[in-house]
Amino acid sequence: MKHNIRFARILVAAAVLGLGLLVAMQASAKTISAEDWAERLKPAGELCLQGMDCGGVAAPVVVGPKSADQVYNSVCMACHDTGAAGAPKRGDAAAWAPRITQGMATLYDHSLTGIRGMPAKGGNPNLSDDEVKSAVDYIVEASR
Residue 68 is a binding residue for ligand HEC (CB under 6 A): no
Residue 89 is a binding residue for ligand HEC (CB under 6 A): no
In terms of Cβ atoms closer than 10 Å to its own Cβ (0-12, 13-18, 19+), residue 142 is: middle
Among positions 73, 95, 110, 120, the unique one binding ligand HEC when judged by CB under 6 A? 110
Site string for ligand HEC, 2-41 (x = CB under 6 A): ----------------------------------------
C-beta of 47 vs 108, nearer to ligand HEC: 108
Residues that bind ligand HEC (CB under 6 A): 71, 75-76, 78-80, 84-88, 99, 102, 106-107, 110-111, 115-119, 121-123, 132, 135-136, 139
